[in-house]
Structure 1
Amino acid sequence: MTLRDVLAWHVLPASLVEVLVEGDLPSAFGRLLIFAPLALEKGASLAFCGPSGSRWTLAVAKVAVSYVLREHHADAAPLVIVIGCEATPEGAACLTAWFKPCGVPVFRAATIEAVRVIMARKGSARPVLLDLPDGGIYAPGGRAFVHEVIE
């Protein structure tokens, strides 16, 4: 199968397929997509979710560190918190290890009630990054937890 065949199979518009098949794919995406720094506002929440292995936890880490480097001052408390919503403690432990040098607190919330408690205690000015579990759309009830957390 060619790249054109694969993109057509995913039902991309023909005009987009034409742009993407010109040259190499990374260059085509570079021409189409412009990424600005993510402006995480004080008090806002941002959730990351995707299939296992899609590196959304790494995206959480990059956003958190970027925010801390931009906003954190030596005399201020950490301005962002991270909530790891995984059923296993390993994910939160990994996040904790990544963020310890930056002073970013990480909380594990394997239940909706745990997320509610953390959000109620966080303070209104602190942004929150949520590292959600695999929201597999094909698994039975796969997105139910994700939708509840977002609500």
Structure 2
Amino acid sequence: MIDISLMICTRNRRDSLSATLDSVAAAAGGQRLELIIVDNGSTDDSAATIRHWAADRPFTVRLLSEPRPGLARARNVALAAARGRIIAMTDDDCILHPDYFEQLIRAFAAQPAPVVIGGRILLGDPADLPVTVKLEDHPPTFPK
């Protein structure tokens, strides 16, 4: 049985994706892992880069395609293909911490029932701040 299905969706991010994939490999250790990558209509050579990278991995790497643009569509394709007990996702420009999978398994093992767990994002590039984090003096409220 596969313990973790890690989903990554990508579109024309070949260069940042390479570092992400290398961080997945460095964190994988001996985990029973499948990596599901969905190419969301890339026009660069992302798919070829992924195939080359995946060739000698000790874990399953599945490259799927969703030609219709949209992160939600790509994630739905990945989710439908996932077989792991734990389903995780990261972005194609993120670098996983070396103990990411160990901590993930530990966090889920501590839960008695199915859960959704969110993680902390540490920005490596301050230019990503306006895209990743929305800061407001008066957050919106939604009345019942």
Flag the structure with more relative contact order, 1 or 2, with Cα contacts below 8 A and sequence separation at least 6: 2
Higher CA-based Rg = 1
TM-score, structure 1 as length reference? 0.39
Q: TM-score normalized by structure 2? A: 0.40
Instruction: Name the structure with the higher strand share.
Output: 2
